[in-house]
Amino acid sequence: LLDGKIGRSAELFDLLEGAGIDVKASCLFPRLGGRVAHIAVDREQYDAVEDLLTERMGGVADQRPCIVVPPDYPGGMGAVARKIAEAQIVMSVSYYGENGELVLATSDGEKTRLVLGL
């Protein structure tokens, strides 16, 4: 969770980059007078991210496993959304990474991977 201060997002990404954290994808959106930063990193780097952000920026609100769908997925986002809906799975987070990959969080990650063939 970030406040609305100008430059805070730059501070966040500079901090992560300086610590050697490879941010796979991210998005920012407003929330309750501040902002939420959703940052996708490899599972192996999560503890380092949490420690760093707790020490330097006040903490991490939560963590959730995400699924990264390749940018060349047949049918794109429409096909992904339809397959997830048809499988009765709730998609709670979706956004694109810097290389066109789709980042998703769903109510059932294993089933999502299965229905998407990932």
Per DSSP, the residues of 79-98 read: HHHHHHHHTT--EEEEEE-T
User: Do 12 and 1 touch, CB atoms closer than 8 A?
Assistant: no
Q: Where are the alpha helices (DSSP H) in 24-75?
A: 46-57
What is the reported pLDDT for 56? Answer: 85
Contacts of 59 (CB under 8 A, 6+ apart): 1, 53
Joined together, the tokens standing for residue 18 give 């300086």
- Cα–Cα distance measured from residue 60 to residue 55, given in angstroms and rounded to the nearest whole number: 10
pLDDT of res. 98: 81
pLDDT of 33 above 80: no
Q: Where is 109: in which H helix or E strand?
A: helix 109-116
Give the residue among 118, 114, 108, 95 at the shortest CA–CA distance from 37: 95
Q: What is the pLDDT of residue 60?
A: 85
Q: Which amino acid is at 69?
A: V
Question: Can you give the pTM of this predicted structure?
Answer: 0.75
How many degrees, rounded to 5, is the angle at CA 95 between CA 90 and CA 97?
140
pLDDT one-digit tens code per residue, 10-19: 999 999 999 9
The string of pLDDT tens digits covering residues 87-98 is 999 999 898 888
Predicted confidence (pLDDT) per residue in 43-87, tens digit: 899 889 999 988 888 778 888 889 999 999 999 999 999 999 999
